[in-house]
Structure 1
Amino acid sequence: MTILQTSIPYDPLVPRPLPGIQPGRMDDWLHCDDAFAAQMQRRVALLAEKRDEVLALDPNAEPAAQELLNLVLRYAYPGCSERVTRPGGHVVEIDRTRPLETLCHLVQEDFCILQKQGDEHVLTGAILCFPASWRLSEKFMRPLIDIHVPVASYDESIARRVQRLFDGIRPEHPLWRFNALWYEDAELHQPRSANAPREKKAPGIAPYMRSERQTLLRLPETQAVVFSIHTYVLEAQHLRKMENPA
């Protein structure tokens, strides 16, 4: 099933120098769009069918995952604690013993938990249903610089800047950025090994534009950094119409 959005709340084609970070707001942290029902159905199916590929959690990151679940409930479903009713009417029971699994049933965002170990932040947990050409198993329990090794433009200078950025993230003050990736296939679940990078497609040739709205947020209690990813996939032809409405 092809799952597409018909609009995107920012212009993904405006170039920004890496790392492209800008300040955000807590009330704009989580997005719910016109692909909600279809994306949620896909997320639940992936968790059931490919659990080991989309979910990883170090035992030491369990408190951070539980804190993240509580924060998502606070902003996406205020006033709910034991169960929530999603848009569309589906009821989800809140299981705090399985925080990442529960998050997968609540919102469209994927979440990565990064915790400071020594001088670097390490990926200690994630629910990652919609990877854009990377594998969670290859990045789990690895530091930030290793996570970005396949990205050619992510050199040591940028790595140091990003690590300083991570050190400076404050609770209640999210930061966000976006990318724009061109794909032949609209499939949301696109894991790929770093040893077999995908062939990049040029704008105007590939039929789909995939954009990740990525947000960085520090959890106040555990001090873990949460990297959330909201994935938009639009037809390139539709995107051009958005750019040139005439």
Structure 2
Amino acid sequence: MVDEVYGAQMSERERFLSERRSEVLDITEGAEPACEELLDAVLADLALRDDFEVSEGEVLCPDQRRVTVDRRDPLGTVGRLVQQDFCIHERRGDEHVMTAAVLCFPASWTLSEKIGKPLTSIHIPVPEYDGDVAKRVQRLFDGIKVGRPMWRKNANWYLDPDLFHPMRENAPRKQEVEGDYLRTERQSLLRLPKTQAVVFGIHTFVLRREDVQF
């Protein structure tokens, strides 16, 4: 998905990947095949679009950037091509574990605290995420079929329009904060056919209160 703020968001992503790479990208040992498969899937999708030009080793983007396809850095390449953040989850024992991610636009969580952890740990400190909910989410991940992605949306008010909004697990959580910016995420879940990894995609939108139609 490409929207009207593609250029502005990609400028931010380029900056974060250059200046704060360790905060926005991480890959655990053994996750490389899934990262490479995700890159291939993104390139295949972009090749079908009119606003991207995909050639051998390079992509011309809608904002006229030319992005080198670096297969030694698959997630970094993906992060420079599209607005979405991606978190890769792979089955490890009884649960799916976040094994890799490119997360330039975190919404009140921090990648370094979640990478390498199972779903139950990832959702700390969400109070509603009890044992029953955890089991349902795990069944959801198990049930995702190749070629049949799922998606949902969420929305929360923020005090500022910043896209980079990390928060530590032990940070105080303000209750009922009503800011002037509505941050929404179009979240998708899809399964990669070769590695069977589940990819959690996040496309972030930020709207001023006066632009929101109630």
Give the TM-score, by structure 2 length: 0.94
Maintained 8 Å contact 1:192/1:198? no
Maintained 8 Å contact 2:6/2:63? no
Matched, 1:199 2:174: yes
Maintained 8 Å contact 1:73/1:80? no
Tell me which of the two structures has the higher relative contact order, counting C-alpha pairs closer than 8 angstroms and 6 or more residues apart. 1
Task: Say which of 44, 47, 71 aligns to 1:74.
Answer: 44
- Where in structure 1 do 4 or more consecutive aligned residues deviate above 4 Å? none
| 1:76, distance to aligned residue in structure 2 (A) | 2.1
Task: Say which of 136, 145, 150 aligns to 2:125.
Answer: 150
Task: Say which of 65, 90, 95 aligns to 1:90.
Answer: 65
2: CA distance between counterparts of 1:152 and 1:189?
A: 23
| 1:103, distance to aligned residue in structure 2 (A) | 0.6
RMSD, aligned CA:
1.2
3-state SS of paired residue (2:64): coil
Task: Say which of 191, 194, 199 aligns to 1:221.
Answer: 194
Bigger proportion of residues as strand: 2
| 1:197, distance to aligned residue in structure 2 (A) | 4.0
Give the TM-score, by structure 1 length: 0.82
Q: Identity over the aligned pairs, expressed in percent?
A: 51
The aligned residue for residue 17 of structure 1 is none
Q: How many residues are matched?
A: 209
3-state SS of paired residue (1:114): strand
Gaps of at least 5 residues in structure 2 are: 49-53
Maintained 8 Å contact 1:182/1:201? no
Q: Which residue identity lines up with residue 170 of structure 1 in the other structure?
A: K
1: CA distance between counterparts of 2:122 and 2:41?
A: 25
Gaps of at least 5 residues in structure 1 are: 1-30
Maintained 8 Å contact 1:180/1:209? yes
